[in-house]
Structures are given as structure tokens and as C-alpha cells.
């Protein structure tokens, strides 16, 4: 039977032709610093949107749009639309924020959000959406950063709203339309909860004159020694005129209380804060609830390579749940604890309370998994055919014998574990366990499920484990369970400097719509047939 399954898989691999890869060359000398898709011309097809930069000149940055075509053949380097980005622009996103047909390019600067309307007359091409103190105020001379997390339909009215993080909180601008005209006049400036003051073991040794430090906030781990010296400046020790750091917790939108509205959740060092959408399209400016975090996110934890906290709806009951990954400090072995807090599932000490429906009174998880090794990344993806998000963990197990083997191969063995989600409860042991070598080179390795492309009920796995190639693997079900079939379904050579983007927006099966490979001279659109 196993031989039969292998033979089927080999045949399927040989015959499968479900990936379409199209290369879009870049104009001479330009580099793509970000890539995404959007329907800019409103024809219902995905257009390729590139943020570009001329590496020979600072602040020469542009946005280019290559229109999508059915069965796109190799497109020319000249974009169908494009514009030079002004020096104050720091970020961009693609979304329908204007009454014009198609989606617009949303631009962010220190003073707020703007839309670029490609078909408008010159004086109407840039329109201000709303004013904000956008957190990232100083433009990068070499790139316009994507901020796609800033476009969300917050009130579920079918219109994209805009989120602008600010130094003191988050500004939510809700889109309203009247007679086809879009407006962002309804804004909510949510005030971030205060962070505790850090202790930094530093006392200046000054003589009473003003101390010119010009520093706001913290974030860099420094040990400073005041030596009260009058040393000349040949050493060129860095002496800033101005040093500014601004921080705000990342905002997450999920239904906290099961009332059907998205609420804002944010984490500080010790607490999880909720800002309720008290009625449709109306957010509370101050936290409406807060609960003690079961794992304090202090400096020690932030230095923990495995630490991460996520919000998601694990049992699809419409209420938010939480997953926390943290290394087990008490264990002799290197291992990571994964704690799951599922609203309504906990019993006894793990039961939720009115004050703390997610973490309960004592922060006891409803489920606990122990994973061997460091967790490099954990995500929730759809691996099998049910709609519940499955846990996908990529980790490294420090194993002496394996590592000695690494000396000759110059690779490091990584492990991929999949814990399937059975109606909100994850398997106690990995349903899929796959070890693969990752080349020890300067690149960003990737292993991600991309949805069921073959129709066999299991998602396929995209892997870049070496700089020069990417592969797509199928899963197979055998007598011993589910495994990764070793022969790839699809493989493509990449430039070793390539970077990969998974644009936002899911395909019908929950997987990504495709991926974009940014190489020095071209961008490759990889999509599914």
C-alpha cells in the first residue's frame, strides 16, 4: 500500500502544473524594496504594486503598478502606472479608500495618511485622508515601508478603514461613503496604556550645567559608564544632537467579547488591554478591560528567543483566544512551552472569569504543549481541510551529534511540527514532524503552508531552505500518519539575494494568494492556477 501511495505521489508530482510563475523585470538600476498585489485599475485582476528605489541615489523612491492580465506573459519593465514618492513619505499600503474605481495607493507621512489616485487630474492626484502623528515620521532614504496591517475593515461595513499608530496610542480612521464619496472624518484616537519606567542603572556625573541628552524612551539595551573626562574628540565617540525613540504596543483586532464587533487588543509588560468597539463603528478611547498576563513580558522574556504571544480564535466560537510561547527556564534541556487560553474551554483553575475571560483568575492555560528546542517561529495556518487554524512550529533542537554533522555540510537541521486543531483543541503530539537542513548563509529561510493546491484535502508546503532555490512539497497520508513527501511538487531557482513577500489577503481556502519573489533585477509573481 505504501509503495502504491509513493507511486501515486510520484506520478502526481510529475503531472502537477499548478504553479504559475511570471517574471516582471525591473527598470535598469532600480531595486524593488517591497511588493504586493492590489486591483489598482479596478478590472478585477490583481495588479503588481512595487515600491522601488535607485540604490545610487538617496531618496529616489517610487511606486510602480504593473497591471494584471489573464495568463500574464512576461511583462515589460516599464510600469503601467507609477509616481515618484515625496521625501516625507514613510510607508504605503494598497486599499480602496476613495470613490474612484479600483484600489488606491495609501501613503503615510509624519502628518497623516494620503491617497494616490492614478486617474485623477494632476492637482487632485494626492488627497489627504486624515491627519495623524504617524509613528514612523522620518523617511528611509532607501525604501518606502509597507504598512498593510494599517488597512482593516474595523466595523465590518465592507469598507476599508485605516489604522495609524501614533506615539501615544493608535488613531483609527473609519471610512464612510455617501453618494460614492469616501470620507475619513470619523476618527478615534485611542490612548495607549502607560508602560512602567525601566531602571537603567545610570546616574550622570555632571556639574550642574544642563545635560544635553535629548533622548526619549528606551529600547536599546545599553550599559553606560560616566567617566567625567575631557578627552579630545579624535576617538569620534558618537555624540548625538538629538536621539528620539517612540514606541507603542502593536494593535490587534479581534472580537474579545463575542458581540460580533472587532475590539482592539494590545499588550504591555504585565497586562493585556482591551478597547471595546462599544457599538458598531464606535471605539472606546480608553481601555475597557485589562487582565494580568500569565507570562510577564519583561526584559528577560523579551530576550527569550522563543517568546511570542498571539491572539486568534482557536475554536472558531467568535471570541478571541490567546497563545503564548516561552522557553522553559526551569528545564535543563532546551524546550519551549506553548500555552493556550481558549475562552470557554478552561475548567477549574483554568476557567475564565468575568474580569479575565481569556486568562482566568490564575493564568492557567486550558492546554499546554511542550516543544523540544528553540521555537524560531510559530504560526496558525490551515493545514488540513477543516477551517480550524492548525499550529505550525519551526524550531531548532540543539543536538550535539546533528550539529557535529553540520560542520561538514554547513547546514543546520530545523524541525517543522504541525499540531492539528480538532475544534479548538490541538493534538498533544505533532501530527506532522519533518526535519530539513537549512543552509548556514545570510538569507531568510521560509517554510509555510500555502493552502490546498492539489485538491487532496491537505495544504502544500512552500520551503526555502537554501538561498538559491524554493520548493513546494505535498503532504501524504500513510499508515504512520501524515508526512511531507520528499520529492517536491515544484521547484524554482532563485537569485541568492532574493527576498520573498507573502502579500496580505487569503485565497478561498485560507492560504495565501501566492507569493512574490524580489530579485535584484526582477520580481517573480508566483500564483496558483
Partner 1 sequence: MALTVVLSAAHALGAAHALWAAHALAAGPQTAGAAAAALAPAQLERVATIEPELDVAEWSFVDVDGDRRRELVLVGTRGELVVHASGAAGSAPLSLAPKRGASLGDPAHSLISFANVDGAGGEELVVLSTDGTLAYGFDAEKGLVPLERLSRRARFGLRVGQPTLAEFTRDVNADGKPDLVVPAGEKLEVWIQGGAKAAEGGAPARFAAFQRTAAVTTQVSRWGARSASELSDVLESSFSIPNLTVRDANGDARPDLYVADGASRAWHLQRGDGSFAETPDVTVDLALFKDTIEEAKVRPGHTLALGDDASLESRDLDGDGIPDYVIAHRRKVWSFLGTQAGPQFASPSTILKTADDTTALALVDLDKNGRADLLLVKVQVPTIATLVRGVFGEWEVTIGASGYENQGRGTFATTPKWKNELSVRLPAILKLFKNPEQFVRRFEETARRFRGGTIGDFDGDGRVDVALVSLDRAELELWRGRELAENTFGESALDRGVAKVLFEDPNTTWDLERIAGAFAGLAERRAAELTGGRPREAAEGLRARDAYRLDSVRNVDLEGDGKDEILAIYRSRNAPARIAVDVFRAR
The smaller minimum CB distance to partner 1, of residues 187 and 411, is found at 411
Q: Applying CB under 8 A, does 401 fall inside the site for partner 1?
A: no
292 or 406, CB closer to partner 1? 406
**Contact window for partner 1 (CB under 8 A) among 44-52, 243-251, 363-371, 491-499:** 243-251
Residues from 88 through 107 that contact partner 1 (CB under 8 A): 91
Cβ atoms 63, 50 nearer than 8 A:
yes
- Least Å from the CB of residue 197 to partner 1: 4
Alpha-carbon separation of residue 412 from 392, 433, 436, 462 (angstroms): 19, 16, 8, 18
- Is position 225 an interface residue for partner 1 (rule: CB under 8 A)? yes
Q: Does 385 bind partner 1 (CB under 8 A)?
A: no
Stretch that binds partner 1, among 41-49, 113-121, 404-412, 444-452 (CB under 8 A): 404-412
Nearer to partner 1, 256 or 458 (CB): 256
Collapse the DSSP code of 197 into the 3-class scheme (helix H, G, I; strand E, B; otherwise coil) and give the result. Answer: coil
Coil, strand or helix: which one is 195?
coil
Q: In the complex, what is the shortest distance from the CB of residue 311 to partner 1, in angstroms, rounded to a whole number?
A: 5
**208/221 Cα distance (integer angstroms):** 27
Among 74, 354, 400, 493, binds partner 1 (CB under 8 A): 400
Which helix (H) or strand (E) covers residue 15, if one does? Answer: helix 2-15
List the beta bridge partners of residue 512: 506
Give me the least distance between CB of 227 and partner 1, in Å please. 5
Angle at 436 between CA 382 and CA 386, to 5 degrees: 15
Nearest distance in Å: CB 204, partner 1: 5
- Residue 486 contacts partner 1 per CB under 8 A: no
Q: In this chain, which of 2, 285, 368, 440 binds partner 1, going by CB under 8 A?
A: 440
Closer Cβ to partner 1, 335 or 471, answer by number:
335
Q: Tell me if 354 contacts partner 1 by CB under 8 A.
A: no
Query: What is d(CA 171, CA 285) in angstroms, rounded to the nearest whole number?
Result: 10
> Closer CB to partner 1, residue 152 or residue 482?
152
Residues of this chain, 17-56, that bind partner 1 according to CB under 8 A: none
Stretch that binds partner 1, among 3-11, 145-153, 477-485, 513-521 (CB under 8 A): 145-153
Residue 84 interacts with partner 1 (CB under 8 A)? Answer: no
Would you count residue 403 as binding partner 1 (CB under 8 A)? yes
Q: What angle do CA 185, 186, 192 make, to 5 degrees?
A: 125
Q: Which stretch binds partner 1 (CB under 8 A): 77-85, 308-316, 454-462, 471-479?
A: 308-316
Query: Rounded to an integer, what distance in angstroms lies between the CA atom of residue 277 and that of residue 284?
Result: 6
Q: How far is the C-alpha of 516 from the C-alpha of 499, rounded, in Å?
A: 8
Q: What's the CA gap between 318 and 282, in Å, rounded?
A: 19
Please identify which residue in 11, 250, 286, 353 interacts with partner 1, judged by CB under 8 A: 250
- Give the DSSP H or E segment for 97: none
Q: Does residue 376 bind partner 1 (CB under 8 A)?
A: no
Cα separation values, 340 from 3, 100, 215, 271, 301, Å = 39, 44, 39, 16, 18
502 forms part of the interface with partner 1 (CB under 8 A): no
Is 359 or 458 the residue whose CB approaches partner 1 more closely?
359
Give the interface segment with partner 1, choosing from 116-124, 133-141, 387-395, 482-490 (CB under 8 A). Answer: 133-141
Q: Which is nearer to partner 1, 8 or 212 (CB)?
A: 212
Cα separation, 362 vs 344, whole angstroms: 15
**Could you say whether residue 406 binds partner 1 (CB under 8 A)?**
yes
Q: Which of 409, 457, 460 is nearest to 436 (CA)?
A: 409
- Count of Cβ atoms closer than 10 Å to residue 142 Cβ: 15
Cell of 15: 503531472
Binding-site string for partner 1 from residue 181 to residue 220, where x marks contact by CB under 8 A and - marks none: ---------------xx-x-xxxxxxxxxxxxxx-xx-xx
86, 224, 353, 385: which one binds partner 1 (CB under 8 A):
224
Residue 322 binding partner 1, by CB under 8 A? yes
Considering CB under 8 A, how many residues would be counted as binding partner 1?
98
Q: What span, in angstroms and rounded, lies between the C-alpha atoms of 54 and 2?
A: 54
CB 521 within 8 A of CB 26: yes
DSSP secondary structure letter of residue 239:
-
Shortest distance (Å) from residue 110 CB to partner 1:
6
| CB closer to partner 1 out of 329 and 479 | 329
Closest CA to 77 of 21, 24, 22: 24
- Rule CB under 8 A: say whether 3 interacts with partner 1: no
Q: Please identify, using beta-carbon distances, which residue of 147 and 462 lies nearer to partner 1.
A: 147
Q: Which of 391, 385, 383, 479 is nearest to 427 (CA)?
A: 391
What own/partner pairs with CB < 8 Å and gap ≥ 24 does 467-475 have?
467/439, 467/441, 467/442, 467/443, 467/494, 467/496, 467/497, 467/498, 468/493, 468/494, 468/495, 468/496, 469/493, 469/494, 470/446, 470/494, 470/500, 470/517, 472/19, 474/9, 474/12, 474/13, 475/383, 475/432
Please, what is the end-to-end C-alpha distance for the chain in angstroms? 30
Say whether 458 sits in a helix, a strand or coil. Answer: coil
The site string for partner 1 over 446-485 (x = CB under 8 A, - otherwise) reads ----------------------------------------
Site membership for partner 1, residue 246 (CB under 8 A): yes
Q: Verify binding: residue 444, partner 1, rule CB under 8 A.
A: no
Per-residue binder mask for partner 1 (CB under 8 A), 252-291, x = binder: x------------xxx----x-------------------
Instruction: Tell me which of 29, 55, 101, 141 binds partner 1, using CB under 8 A.
Output: 141
Within positions 147 to 176, which residues make up the interface with partner 1, using CB under 8 A?
147, 149, 165, 167-168
Amino acid at each position: 500500500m505504501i509503495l502504491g501511495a509513493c507511486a501515486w505521489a510520484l506520478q502526481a508530482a510529475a503531472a502537477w502544473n499548478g504553479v504559475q510563475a511570471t517574471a516582471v523585470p525591473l527598470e535598469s538600476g532600480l531595486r524593488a524594496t517591497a511588493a504586493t498585489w492590489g486591483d489598482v485599475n479596478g478590472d478585477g485582476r490583481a495588479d503588481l504594486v512595487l515600491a522601488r528605489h535607485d540604490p545610487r541615489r538617496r531618496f529616489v523612491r517610487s511606486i510602480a503598478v504593473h497591471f494584471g492580465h489573464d495568463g500574464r506573459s512576461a511583462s515589460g519593465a516599464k510600469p503601467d502606472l507609477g509616481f515618484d514618492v515625496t521625501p516625507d513619505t514613510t510607508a504605503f499600503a494598497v486599499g480602496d479608500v476613495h470613490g474612484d474605481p479600483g484600489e488606491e495607493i495609501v501613503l503615510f507621512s509624519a502628518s497623516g495618511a494620503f491617497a494616490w489616485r492614478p486617474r485623477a487630474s494632476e492637482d487632485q492626484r494626492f488627497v489627504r485622508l486624515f491627519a495623524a502623528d504617524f509613528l514612523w515620521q522620518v523617511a528611509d532614504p532607501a525604501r518606502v515601508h509597507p504598512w498593510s496591517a494599517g488597512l482593516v475593515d474595523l466595523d465590518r461595513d465592507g469598507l476599508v478603514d485605516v489604522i495609524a499608530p501614533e506615539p501615544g496610542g493608535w488613531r483609527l480612521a473609519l471610512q464612510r461613503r455617501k453618494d460614492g464619496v469616501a470620507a475619513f472624518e470619523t476618527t478615534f484616537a485611542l490612548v495607549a496604556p502607560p508602560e512602567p519606567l525601566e531602571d537603567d542603572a545610570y546616574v550622570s556625573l555632571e556639574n550642574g550645567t544642563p545635560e544635553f541628552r535629548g533622548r526619549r524612551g528606551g529600547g536599546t539595551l545599553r550599559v553606560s559608564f560616566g567617566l567625567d573626562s575631557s578627552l579630545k574628540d579624535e576617538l569620534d565617540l558618537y555624540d548625538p544632537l538629538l536621539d528620539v525613540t517612540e514606541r507603542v504596543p502593536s494593535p490587534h483586532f479581534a472580537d474579545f467579547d463575542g458581540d460580533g464587533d472587532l475590539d482592539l487588543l494590545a499588550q504591555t509588560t504585565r497586562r493585556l488591554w482591551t478597547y471595546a468597539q462599544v457599538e458598531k463603528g464606535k471605539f472606546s478611547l480608553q481601555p475597557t478591560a485589562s487582565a494580568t498576563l500569565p507570562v510577564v513580558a519583561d526584559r528577560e522574556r523579551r530576550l527569550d528567543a522563543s517568546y511570542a504571544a498571539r491572539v486568534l480564535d482557536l475554536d472558531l466560537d467568535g471570541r478571541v483566544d490567546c497563545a503564548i510561547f516561552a522557553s522553559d527556564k526551569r528545564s535543563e534541556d532546551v524546550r519551549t512551552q506553548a500555552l493556550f487560553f481558549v475562552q470557554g474551554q478552561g475548567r477549574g483553575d483554568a476557567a475564565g472569569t468575568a474580569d479575565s475571560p481569556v486568562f482566568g483568575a490564575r493564568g492557567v492555560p486550558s492546554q499546554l504543549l511542550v516543544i523540544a528546542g528553540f521555537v524560531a517561529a510559530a504560526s496558525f495556518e490551515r493545514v488540513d481541510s477543516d477551517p480550524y487554524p492548525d499550529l505550525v512550529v519551526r524550531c531548532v533542537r540543539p543536538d550535539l551529534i546533528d550539529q557535529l554533522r553540520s560542520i561538514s555540510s554547513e547546514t543546520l537541521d530545523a524541525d517543522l511540527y504541525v499540531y492539528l486543531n480538532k475544534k479548538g483543541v490541538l493534538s498533544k503530539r505533532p501530527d506532522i514532524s519533518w526535519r530539513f537542513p537549512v543552509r548556514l548563509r545570510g538569507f531568510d529561510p521560509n517554510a509555510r503552508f500555502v493552502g490546498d493546491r492539489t485538491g487532496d484535502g491537505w495544504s502544500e508546503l512552500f520551503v526555502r531552505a537554501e538561498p538559491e532555490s524554493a520548493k513546494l512539497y505535498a503532504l501524504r497520508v500513510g499508515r504512520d500518519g501524515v508526512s511531507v513527501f520528499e520529492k517536491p511538487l515544484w521547484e524554482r531557482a532563485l537569485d541568492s539575494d532574493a527576498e520573498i513577500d507573502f502579500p496580505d489577503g487569503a485565497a478561498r481556502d485560507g492560504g495565501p494568494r501566492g507569493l512574490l519573489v524580489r530579485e535584484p533585477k526582477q520580481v517573480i509573481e508566483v500564483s496558483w492556477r
